[in-house]
Amino acid sequence: MRRRTLTGAVLAGAIAPLLALTACGGGGDPLAEETTDATSAPGAVTVGSANFPESELLAEMYAQVLEGEGVQVERSFNIGAREVYLRALQDGSIDLLPEYNGALLAALSPDGVPEDVSSPEDVYDALQDVLPDGTETLEQAAAEDKDTLTVTRETAEQYSLTSIADLAPVAGELTAGGGPEFQERYQGLIGLEQVYGVTFGQYRPLDAGGPLTVQALSDGTIQVANLFSTDSAIETNDFVPLEDPENLFLAQNIVPLIRSEANSEQITEALNAFSATLTTENLTEYLARVQVDRETPGAVAQAYLADNGLA
Protein backbone atom coordinates (compact mmCIF):
# COMPACT_ATOMS: atom_id res chain seq x y z
CA MET A 1 0.00 0.00 0.00
CA ARG A 2 1.41 3.39 -0.93
CA ARG A 3 1.77 5.62 2.10
CA ARG A 4 2.09 9.36 2.25
CA THR A 5 5.48 9.69 3.91
CA LEU A 6 6.91 12.51 6.01
CA THR A 7 10.34 11.45 7.20
CA GLY A 8 11.90 12.59 10.42
CA ALA A 9 14.81 14.04 8.43
CA VAL A 10 12.43 16.16 6.38
CA LEU A 11 10.62 17.38 9.46
CA ALA A 12 13.87 18.20 11.21
CA GLY A 13 15.08 20.03 8.12
CA ALA A 14 11.96 22.16 8.14
CA ILE A 15 12.21 22.97 11.81
CA ALA A 16 15.68 24.45 11.95
CA PRO A 17 15.16 27.45 9.64
CA LEU A 18 11.71 28.10 11.02
CA LEU A 19 12.89 28.15 14.58
CA ALA A 20 15.76 30.44 13.64
CA LEU A 21 13.36 32.83 11.98
CA THR A 22 11.07 32.89 14.98
CA ALA A 23 13.83 33.06 17.61
CA CYS A 24 12.49 29.91 19.27
CA GLY A 25 15.76 28.08 19.58
CA GLY A 26 17.61 25.52 17.51
CA GLY A 27 16.48 22.56 15.42
CA GLY A 28 15.41 19.10 16.55
CA ASP A 29 12.21 17.23 17.23
CA PRO A 30 9.27 19.67 17.03
CA LEU A 31 7.48 17.73 19.76
CA ALA A 32 10.43 17.38 22.12
CA GLU A 33 9.83 18.57 25.65
CA GLU A 34 11.36 21.98 26.30
CA THR A 35 11.12 24.45 29.13
CA THR A 36 9.83 27.94 28.56
CA ASP A 37 9.79 31.19 30.46
CA ALA A 38 6.29 31.97 29.15
CA THR A 39 3.72 31.89 31.96
CA SER A 40 -0.03 32.37 32.02
CA ALA A 41 -2.18 33.69 34.80
CA PRO A 42 -3.30 30.89 37.13
CA GLY A 43 -6.33 29.20 35.60
CA ALA A 44 -6.00 31.07 32.31
CA VAL A 45 -6.18 29.27 28.96
CA THR A 46 -3.65 30.54 26.43
CA VAL A 47 -5.03 30.38 22.89
CA GLY A 48 -2.46 30.31 20.10
CA SER A 49 -2.57 30.55 16.32
CA ALA A 50 -0.41 29.93 13.29
CA ASN A 51 0.93 32.78 11.20
CA PHE A 52 -1.87 33.28 8.68
CA PRO A 53 -5.16 35.23 8.84
CA GLU A 54 -7.60 32.31 9.02
CA SER A 55 -5.80 30.71 11.93
CA GLU A 56 -5.78 34.00 13.82
CA LEU A 57 -9.49 34.52 13.13
CA LEU A 58 -10.37 31.02 14.34
CA ALA A 59 -8.19 31.44 17.43
CA GLU A 60 -9.94 34.71 18.20
CA MET A 61 -13.29 32.94 17.83
CA TYR A 62 -12.15 30.26 20.28
CA ALA A 63 -10.96 32.92 22.70
CA GLN A 64 -14.22 34.86 22.60
CA VAL A 65 -16.32 31.70 22.93
CA LEU A 66 -14.42 30.79 26.09
CA GLU A 67 -14.55 34.31 27.48
CA GLY A 68 -18.31 34.23 26.95
CA GLU A 69 -18.38 31.21 29.26
CA GLY A 70 -16.38 33.02 31.92
CA VAL A 71 -13.06 31.34 31.14
CA GLN A 72 -9.98 33.53 31.60
CA VAL A 73 -8.15 33.68 28.28
CA GLU A 74 -4.76 34.89 27.13
CA ARG A 75 -3.80 35.22 23.46
CA SER A 76 -0.56 34.25 21.73
CA PHE A 77 -1.23 34.60 18.01
CA ASN A 78 0.92 34.43 14.85
CA ILE A 79 3.39 32.03 16.43
CA GLY A 80 4.64 30.56 13.15
CA ALA A 81 4.27 27.39 11.13
CA ARG A 82 3.16 24.01 12.51
CA GLU A 83 6.71 22.94 13.31
CA VAL A 84 6.97 25.92 15.65
CA TYR A 85 3.56 26.09 17.32
CA LEU A 86 3.52 22.37 18.13
CA ARG A 87 6.59 23.03 20.28
CA ALA A 88 4.71 25.83 22.01
CA LEU A 89 1.81 23.49 22.71
CA GLN A 90 4.10 20.75 23.96
CA ASP A 91 6.05 22.98 26.33
CA GLY A 92 2.95 24.67 27.70
CA SER A 93 3.49 28.10 26.15
CA ILE A 94 0.02 27.72 24.68
CA ASP A 95 -2.90 25.48 25.63
CA LEU A 96 -5.25 25.55 22.65
CA LEU A 97 -5.25 26.37 18.96
CA PRO A 98 -7.20 25.67 15.76
CA GLU A 99 -5.76 22.86 13.64
CA TYR A 100 -6.52 21.08 10.36
CA ASN A 101 -7.06 17.36 10.80
CA GLY A 102 -5.33 16.08 7.64
CA ALA A 103 -2.30 18.35 7.78
CA LEU A 104 -1.79 17.57 11.46
CA LEU A 105 -2.11 13.83 10.80
CA ALA A 106 0.51 14.00 8.04
CA ALA A 107 2.89 16.01 10.22
CA LEU A 108 2.60 13.52 13.09
CA SER A 109 2.89 10.35 10.98
CA PRO A 110 6.59 9.71 10.31
CA ASP A 111 5.78 6.33 8.74
CA GLY A 112 3.21 7.87 6.43
CA VAL A 113 -0.56 8.09 6.25
CA PRO A 114 -2.23 5.05 4.67
CA GLU A 115 -3.53 5.78 1.20
CA ASP A 116 -7.13 4.90 2.10
CA VAL A 117 -7.31 7.48 4.90
CA SER A 118 -8.77 10.58 3.30
CA SER A 119 -12.35 11.23 4.51
CA PRO A 120 -12.89 13.61 7.45
CA GLU A 121 -14.00 10.76 9.71
CA ASP A 122 -11.14 8.46 8.75
CA VAL A 123 -8.60 11.24 9.18
CA TYR A 124 -9.99 12.21 12.59
CA ASP A 125 -9.91 8.60 13.79
CA ALA A 126 -6.34 8.08 12.56
CA LEU A 127 -5.27 11.32 14.21
CA GLN A 128 -6.17 9.96 17.65
CA ASP A 129 -3.41 7.37 17.35
CA VAL A 130 -0.60 9.87 16.76
CA LEU A 131 -1.47 12.86 18.94
CA PRO A 132 1.37 13.94 21.23
CA ASP A 133 1.05 12.75 24.81
CA GLY A 134 -0.98 15.14 26.90
CA THR A 135 -2.97 16.58 24.00
CA GLU A 136 -6.41 15.86 22.58
CA THR A 137 -8.76 17.04 19.88
CA LEU A 138 -12.33 18.16 20.42
CA GLU A 139 -15.10 17.70 17.85
CA GLN A 140 -14.13 18.80 14.35
CA ALA A 141 -16.15 21.24 12.30
CA ALA A 142 -17.71 20.61 8.92
CA ALA A 143 -15.65 23.59 7.76
CA GLU A 144 -12.67 22.58 5.67
CA ASP A 145 -9.78 24.61 4.30
CA LYS A 146 -7.48 22.61 2.06
CA ASP A 147 -4.11 23.42 0.60
CA THR A 148 -4.40 24.05 -3.14
CA LEU A 149 -2.12 24.63 -6.06
CA THR A 150 -3.64 27.63 -7.74
CA VAL A 151 -2.88 29.39 -11.02
CA THR A 152 -4.20 32.41 -12.85
CA ARG A 153 -6.92 31.93 -15.45
CA GLU A 154 -4.38 32.90 -18.12
CA THR A 155 -1.90 30.24 -17.00
CA ALA A 156 -4.63 27.60 -16.80
CA GLU A 157 -5.66 28.32 -20.38
CA GLN A 158 -2.10 28.60 -21.70
CA TYR A 159 -1.08 25.16 -20.39
CA SER A 160 -4.52 23.49 -20.38
CA LEU A 161 -4.40 22.99 -16.62
CA THR A 162 -7.36 21.60 -14.69
CA SER A 163 -5.61 19.27 -12.23
CA ILE A 164 -2.25 18.97 -10.50
CA ALA A 165 -1.47 16.04 -12.79
CA ASP A 166 -1.54 18.41 -15.78
CA LEU A 167 1.46 20.24 -14.31
CA ALA A 168 3.86 17.32 -14.70
CA PRO A 169 5.00 18.00 -18.29
CA VAL A 170 5.25 21.78 -17.87
CA ALA A 171 6.27 22.35 -14.23
CA GLY A 172 9.94 22.73 -15.18
CA GLU A 173 9.02 25.91 -17.02
CA LEU A 174 7.13 27.36 -14.04
CA THR A 175 7.97 29.02 -10.74
CA ALA A 176 5.90 28.08 -7.72
CA GLY A 177 5.61 29.95 -4.44
CA GLY A 178 4.13 29.81 -0.96
CA GLY A 179 5.23 29.40 2.64
CA PRO A 180 8.88 28.41 3.24
CA GLU A 181 7.77 25.21 4.97
CA PHE A 182 5.96 24.02 1.80
CA GLN A 183 9.37 23.10 0.39
CA GLU A 184 10.02 20.54 3.15
CA ARG A 185 6.60 18.98 3.68
CA TYR A 186 5.21 15.84 2.14
CA GLN A 187 2.01 17.81 1.60
CA GLY A 188 4.16 20.16 -0.43
CA LEU A 189 7.00 19.84 -2.93
CA ILE A 190 8.06 16.40 -1.72
CA GLY A 191 4.63 14.85 -2.22
CA LEU A 192 4.07 16.68 -5.50
CA GLU A 193 7.17 15.03 -6.93
CA GLN A 194 6.46 11.59 -5.49
CA VAL A 195 2.73 11.43 -6.25
CA TYR A 196 2.41 13.51 -9.41
CA GLY A 197 5.91 13.71 -10.84
CA VAL A 198 5.74 17.50 -10.57
CA THR A 199 9.07 19.31 -10.16
CA PHE A 200 9.02 23.06 -10.57
CA GLY A 201 11.80 25.00 -12.23
CA GLN A 202 12.01 27.22 -9.17
CA TYR A 203 10.30 27.72 -5.83
CA ARG A 204 10.04 31.11 -4.13
CA PRO A 205 9.58 31.10 -0.32
CA LEU A 206 6.99 33.79 0.39
CA ASP A 207 4.24 33.48 3.01
CA ALA A 208 1.72 30.79 3.92
CA GLY A 209 -1.27 31.61 1.73
CA GLY A 210 -0.77 35.29 2.48
CA PRO A 211 -0.61 38.60 0.60
CA LEU A 212 2.95 38.11 -0.66
CA THR A 213 1.98 34.87 -2.38
CA VAL A 214 -1.22 36.34 -3.80
CA GLN A 215 0.64 39.37 -5.13
CA ALA A 216 3.39 37.24 -6.67
CA LEU A 217 0.79 35.12 -8.47
CA SER A 218 -1.07 38.20 -9.65
CA ASP A 219 2.00 39.98 -11.06
CA GLY A 220 3.53 36.87 -12.64
CA THR A 221 6.51 36.54 -10.30
CA ILE A 222 5.25 32.99 -9.74
CA GLN A 223 2.93 30.96 -11.93
CA VAL A 224 1.71 28.44 -9.31
CA ALA A 225 0.77 29.33 -5.73
CA ASN A 226 0.07 27.33 -2.62
CA LEU A 227 -3.12 29.01 -1.41
CA PHE A 228 -5.82 27.89 1.00
CA SER A 229 -9.19 26.96 -0.47
CA THR A 230 -11.16 29.47 1.65
CA ASP A 231 -8.98 32.39 0.56
CA SER A 232 -11.19 35.14 -0.85
CA ALA A 233 -8.36 36.13 -3.20
CA ILE A 234 -9.14 33.08 -5.35
CA GLU A 235 -12.59 34.36 -6.29
CA THR A 236 -11.65 38.04 -6.25
CA ASN A 237 -8.82 37.50 -8.76
CA ASP A 238 -10.50 34.75 -10.79
CA PHE A 239 -7.72 32.34 -9.90
CA VAL A 240 -8.08 28.64 -10.72
CA PRO A 241 -7.41 26.02 -7.98
CA LEU A 242 -6.23 22.80 -9.60
CA GLU A 243 -7.99 19.54 -8.77
CA ASP A 244 -6.16 16.99 -6.62
CA PRO A 245 -7.29 13.61 -8.01
CA GLU A 246 -4.72 11.62 -5.98
CA ASN A 247 -5.79 13.28 -2.69
CA LEU A 248 -2.29 14.43 -1.83
CA PHE A 249 -3.93 17.07 0.34
CA LEU A 250 -6.05 15.15 2.85
CA ALA A 251 -9.36 16.25 4.34
CA GLN A 252 -8.62 19.43 6.26
CA ASN A 253 -11.47 19.91 8.69
CA ILE A 254 -10.90 22.46 11.42
CA VAL A 255 -10.47 20.95 14.86
CA PRO A 256 -9.48 22.39 18.25
CA LEU A 257 -6.22 20.91 19.55
CA ILE A 258 -5.83 21.34 23.31
CA ARG A 259 -3.54 20.29 26.12
CA SER A 260 -5.46 17.81 28.25
CA GLU A 261 -4.40 19.54 31.47
CA ALA A 262 -6.01 22.76 30.28
CA ASN A 263 -9.26 21.16 29.15
CA SER A 264 -12.49 20.91 31.12
CA GLU A 265 -16.10 19.90 30.52
CA GLN A 266 -16.99 23.59 30.26
CA ILE A 267 -14.37 24.23 27.57
CA THR A 268 -15.25 21.07 25.65
CA GLU A 269 -18.95 21.89 25.55
CA ALA A 270 -18.36 25.51 24.54
CA LEU A 271 -15.95 24.72 21.70
CA ASN A 272 -17.99 21.77 20.45
CA ALA A 273 -21.04 24.04 20.22
CA PHE A 274 -18.99 26.56 18.28
CA SER A 275 -17.55 23.96 15.88
CA ALA A 276 -21.07 22.70 15.16
CA THR A 277 -21.90 26.09 13.59
CA LEU A 278 -18.79 26.38 11.41
CA THR A 279 -19.08 25.54 7.72
CA THR A 280 -16.74 26.10 4.82
CA GLU A 281 -19.18 28.65 3.42
CA ASN A 282 -19.57 30.79 6.51
CA LEU A 283 -15.86 30.60 7.32
CA THR A 284 -15.06 31.84 3.81
CA GLU A 285 -17.58 34.66 4.21
CA TYR A 286 -16.23 35.91 7.53
CA LEU A 287 -12.60 35.44 6.54
CA ALA A 288 -13.24 37.76 3.58
CA ARG A 289 -14.20 40.46 6.05
CA VAL A 290 -10.66 40.22 7.44
CA GLN A 291 -8.78 39.80 4.18
CA VAL A 292 -10.83 42.01 1.85
CA ASP A 293 -12.72 44.44 4.07
CA ARG A 294 -9.78 44.82 6.47
CA GLU A 295 -11.87 44.37 9.60
CA THR A 296 -9.99 43.17 12.66
CA PRO A 297 -10.18 39.50 13.63
CA GLY A 298 -11.64 40.55 16.98
CA ALA A 299 -14.50 42.46 15.37
CA VAL A 300 -15.22 39.69 12.85
CA ALA A 301 -15.16 37.00 15.53
CA GLN A 302 -17.57 39.02 17.64
CA ALA A 303 -19.92 39.41 14.66
CA TYR A 304 -19.76 35.70 13.84
CA LEU A 305 -20.64 34.66 17.38
CA ALA A 306 -23.54 37.11 17.51
CA ASP A 307 -24.86 36.04 14.09
CA ASN A 308 -24.74 32.36 15.08
CA GLY A 309 -26.35 32.63 18.49
CA LEU A 310 -23.13 32.13 20.44
CA ALA A 311 -22.91 35.54 22.08
List the CATH number of the domain containing 256.
Answer: 3.40.190.10
- Nearest-angstrom CA–CA distance, 239 and 234: 5
pLDDT band of 217, cuts 50, 70, 90: very high
Q: Closest by alpha carbon to 142, among 253, 251, 255? A: 253
Q: Above 70 in pLDDT, residue 177? A: yes
| Minimum mean pLDDT range among 115-129, 152-166, 170-184, 279-293 | 115-129
Are residues 43 and 178 located together in one domain of the fold? no
Query: Residue 24 pLDDT > 60, yes or no?
Result: no
From 213, 241, 269, the end of a domain falls on 241
Whole-model pTM? 0.73
30 and 126 in a single domain? The answer is: yes
Structural domains in the chain (count): 2
Tell whether 128 is covered by a domain. yes
* In-domain check, residue 229: yes
Specify if 94 maps to a domain.
yes
- Is residue 246 in some structural domain? no
Do 32 and 135 have their domain in common?
yes
289 is in which domain, residue-wise? Answer: 3-144+251-307
Instruction: Answer yes or no: do 50 and 173 share one domain.
Output: no
155 and 263 in a single domain? The answer is: no
Which CATH number belongs to the domain containing residue 184 in this structure? 3.40.190.120
User: Are both 40 and 54 inside the same structural domain?
Assistant: yes
Tell me the pairing of strands 135-137 and 175-178.
unpaired
Same domain membership, residue 139 and residue 151:
no
pLDDT of residue 42: 53
Q: Is residue 105 part of a domain?
A: yes
Q: Are residues 94 and 13 in the same domain?
A: yes
Specify the pLDDT at position 104.
Answer: 94
